[in-house]
Amino acid sequence: QVQLVESGGGLVQPGGSLRLSCAASGSIFRIYAMGWYRQAPGKQRELVAAITSSSSTNYADSVKGRFTISRDNGKNTVHLQMNSLKPEDTAVYYCNLDRKPFPYWGQGTQVTVSS
């Protein structure tokens, strides 16, 4: 069993930065891809960024150049550095461990971008 615990969300002004972290329990972390998803009110959950076990990354077009995903396999953590935040980045952000066919999800952390 794997547990994912997110932290680092909060309220930030437009143009500001936040760093989300996801801590994973268990020993399987390092062999799976990890991802950050987000879900805004009334919208579907969408992939924001993903990182493979070998640290290859991909990003949603809406966050390219502003967000950076990284992982530390020694500490079982994955991070999402978010810069130049916009009001449209407001959402609940979820950490994902891509264990098919049953991925693991964290409980989510709220990010609100507002002046």
pLDDT at res. 111: 98
pLDDT tens per residue, range 67-115: 999 999 999 999 999 999 999 999 999 999 999 889 999 999 999 999 9
Alpha carbons 112 and 36: distance in angstroms, whole number? 16
Q: Tell which residue, 19, 24, 9, has the closest CA to residue 104.
A: 24
pLDDT at res. 92: 98
pLDDT at res. 17: 98
